[in-house]
Chains A and B, each alone.
Chain A
Amino acid sequence: MSTETIDLRTKLITDFHARESVMNGEAKSAFHQKKRAAFTQFETLGFPTPKNEEWKYSNVRDLISASYNFNTSDTLSAEDLIDLKMPEQAANILYFVNGHYNPALSTVVSSTDQIIIDSLQNAYKNNPDLVNSYFDELVKNDSDAFTSLNTAFAHDGVFIYVPNNQTVEHPVILRFVSDARVENVASQPRNIIAVGKNAHVKIAEAFRTIGDERSFTNVVTEINVGEEAGVEYYKVQNESENAYHIGTTQVRMLEKSHFYAATVTLNGKFTRNNLNIVIDGEHCEAHMYGLYFPDGTQHVDNHTVADHSKPNSESNELYKGILRDKSKGVFNGKIFVRPDAQKTNAFQSCKNIVLSNDATMYTKPQLEIFADDVKCSHGTTTGQIDEEALFYMRSRGISKAEAMSLLMFAFCADVVSQIKIDSIREYLENVIAEKLSRK
């Protein structure tokens, strides 16, 4: 371990104690007790090294060797948003700048009887018991240092609560902006999403950066999917060449619920996404789509878990990647089928196009099946662009570059077309097309 790594850890430990010392009575709250427990876990775990099997191909040394300002204030004005434009859509749009909720930039259009959307901070002030009943109930702090760190410092983020039987018409778009114009910044948003019985909602998290200094985002989202509920959840990352991102989305599904996730990583220096779904009910359907398109020396790591603990449910996973230049990709997909989970259907597929000899893709499907009456399959492919298809297109007058671009756009479309929030889908199509035209 280098001295710098000790520095960031020591700094965070000092920070935690400093915060705690000014807390007065709040330090005794159940909320803070959870944070304290997580903090102790973080102290024990420390930052992972490649010796840790879960971090074998993703070395965080570079990430933790810098110092960051964890306590920036909100610095973004409406003019700054011009660079962050997305196609317009009637939606609930919330801005978080360096992890802090920015009410001035945000708009909520849905009525409060359909959905409660608030910052975690406000929600905790107004309704501590409700927030506390969901906070830190799904994640595991004892195995992942970044998750425990996020829990320990959980301060702001979004709190979304959809009451039973509500179908929320307008999507919720959460925009996380790292403002790295003047210094290295770090943020640790904590999002809580609770969707009631037979309630339906679409939510997107979009991550962007402005400025060229380093940004470090360590985000955790907990999603409770109630019985018969339907949740569509999209995570979209288009950050800077200097952006480090570690995120965990932890999902629990109850009986007869549906959950769709799409995780799309188009830009960022170092990205690690954990998507963990516990299927804790019968007749559930979980769909996981992923797309990553790193170039330069970017690094994208997706770890997913579909944990079937009840019978008669289905999980379906498709991750796709295009790797250029000297980029690296990692896919680790775990499927657990617990002894009770008979008649599980679980499918997983990871397809990659590696466009350069210097780019590398590591794939690792991991199936652990403890029930006997199940249907499971997995497959990974890593290859180049289909030469037959390329020749066919060229023989019609389409240049090689244009043909490649069409084929790659189509490759991405399998994932992007799954996204049901129009403005997000259009935005991604635009960024992908732009990226494809830039050679």
Chain B
Amino acid sequence: MLSINGLRASIDGKEILKGINLEIKPGEVHAIMGPNGSGKSTLASVLAGREEYEVTAGTVTFDGKDLLELAAEQRAAEGIFLAFQYPVEIPGVTTINFLKTAVNEIRKYNGEEPLDAARFLKMVREKAKLVSMNDSLLKRALNEGFSGGEKKRNEIFQMAVLEPKLAILDETDSGLDIDALRIVAEGVNSLRSPERSAIVVTHYQRLLDYIVPDFVHVLYKGRIVKSGGKELAFELEEKGYDWIKAEVEAQEVN
């Protein structure tokens, strides 16, 4: 489904991603962990099509298409969704109106008729219930004045509405209380299917109790330096990153 090969990316002349290789098959969930500043959000942004980052080497294919050739909105229409680490506040645009535009623009891209208002509302209500999203939030300006947890929940709600093939969750768990964490995880799990995949960026093993990953990767200094099964997350939780950093440094010396 997603195949990343030798991906390098920089911003303002500073290289952040230094050769990423990652293969994600349909139905798989990959967790990405790693110390602060190692490039996790950068990878997520590059995949979603943020133009500020310059891709200097490597390829990314998604369902056989050259992802790097596509604009952000085309990637979304192809089925990529990024739940932002820091969702943006958009004054004056209600969540509901925003989503309606998004849904219909994606349908247009895929040659489908726009959803009529009634069907759209019905669908949105169902999805809102799924993530226990309060109706009143939908009528407010997108993320404006939302609490940290409400913003994160809104990301998952949008994901549920857009039903992406590949969801990239960038620290969706941080700032959530225990109940919200469970709700968010249920939202993600309800989307799991043999065709859908996810990349879950997190600092905490806790989330992975709810969203059980097939693989865990450690990103450090712009590279994936270690990969394993879900038990790797436990190991990291217990031992921190020092041992991995030491391993990397030892290799750099060699």
Contact = CB atoms under 8 A, between A and B. Distances in A.
B73 A397 contact: yes
Given A393-B98, A397-B106, A410 B73 contact: no
Interface of B: 48-52, 71-73, 75-77, 81-82, 84, 87-93, 97-99, 101-103, 105-106, 109, 141, 158, 162
B123 to A, nearest CB: 15
B109 A410 contact: no
B242 to A, nearest CB: 34
A395 interface: yes
Nearest to B51: A391
Contacts of B73: 394-400, 403
Contacts of B141: 410
A406 interface: yes
A396 B88 contact: no
A397 B162 contact: yes
A413 B93 CA distance: 10
Contact of B105 (A387, A391, A397, A407): A397
Given A402-B101, A402-B105, A406-B101, A395 B72 contact: yes
Interface in A382-414: 386-389, 391-400, 402-403, 406-407, 409-411, 413-414
B90 A393 contact: yes
B71 A410 contact: no
Contacts of B97: 406
A394 B101 contact: no
Contacts of B91: 410, 414
25 contacts: A388-B88, A391-B50, A391-B88, A393-B98, A394-B49, A394-B71, A394-B72, A394-B73, A395-B49, A395-B73, A395-B82, A396-B73, A396-B76, A396-B81, A396-B98, A396-B102, A397-B73, A397-B76, A397-B105, A398-B73, A402-B105, A410-B93, A410-B141, A411-B92, A414-B91
A402 B109 CA distance: 13
Q: Considering residues B71, B84, B98, B162, which has the most beta carbons from chain A within 10 angstroms of its beta carbon?
A: B98
Contacts of A413: 92
Contacts of B99: 396
Given A391-B50, A402-B105, A406-B101, A397 B77 contact: yes
A32 B246 CA distance: 94
A30 B106 CA distance: 69
Given A391-B50, A392-B84, A397 B102 contact: yes
A338 B15 CA distance: 58
Q: Considering residues B72, B102, B105, B141, which has the most beta carbons from chain A within 10 angstroms of its beta carbon?
A: B72
A425 to B, nearest CB: 15
B92 A397 contact: no
A389 to B, nearest CB: 5
Contact of B90 (A394, A395, A400, A407): A407
Q: Considering residues B90, B106, B109, B162, which has the most beta carbons from chain A within 10 angstroms of its beta carbon?
A: B90
A392 B101 contact: no
Interface residues of A: mostly helix, strand, loop or mixed? helix
Contact of B98 (A387, A406, A411): A406
A396 B162 contact: yes
Contacts of A394: 49, 71-73, 76
Q: Considering residues B49, B50, B73, B76, which has the most beta carbons from chain A within 10 angstroms of its beta carbon?
A: B73
Nearest to B101: A398
A397 B90 contact: no
B88 A392 contact: yes
Interface string A69-93: 0000000000000000000000000
A413 B49 CA distance: 29
Contacts of A414: 91-92
Given A391-B72, A392-B87, A398 B102 contact: yes
Given A389-B89, A406-B98, 7 more contacts: A389-B88, A391-B51, A396-B76, A397-B102, A402-B105, A403-B73, A414-B91
Q: Considering residues A389, A391, A400, which has the most beta carbons from chain B within 10 angstroms of its beta carbon?
A: A391
Contacts of A398: 73, 98, 101-102, 105
Given A391-B72, A394-B72, A410 B49 contact: no
A401 to B, nearest CB: 10
Contacts of B84: 392, 395
Contacts of B71: 394, 400
Contact of A410 (B48, B72, B92, B162): B92
Nearest to B75: A395
Contacts of B49: 394-395
A314 to B, nearest CB: 23
A403 B77 CA distance: 15
A436 to B, nearest CB: 13
A125 B48 CA distance: 71
A409 B97 CA distance: 12
A409 B82 CA distance: 25
B96 to A, nearest CB: 13
A391 B82 CA distance: 11
| 4 residue pairs, one from A and one from B, having the closest CB atoms | A410-B92, A397-B76, A394-B72, A397-B106
Contacts of A388: 88
Contact of A399 (B81, B103, B105): B105
A395 B48 contact: yes
A414 B98 CA distance: 17
Nearest to B102: A396
Contacts of B82: 395
A380 B154 CA distance: 32
A353 to B, nearest CB: 13
A389 B72 contact: no
A351 to B, nearest CB: 11
Contacts of A411: 92
A432 to B, nearest CB: 12
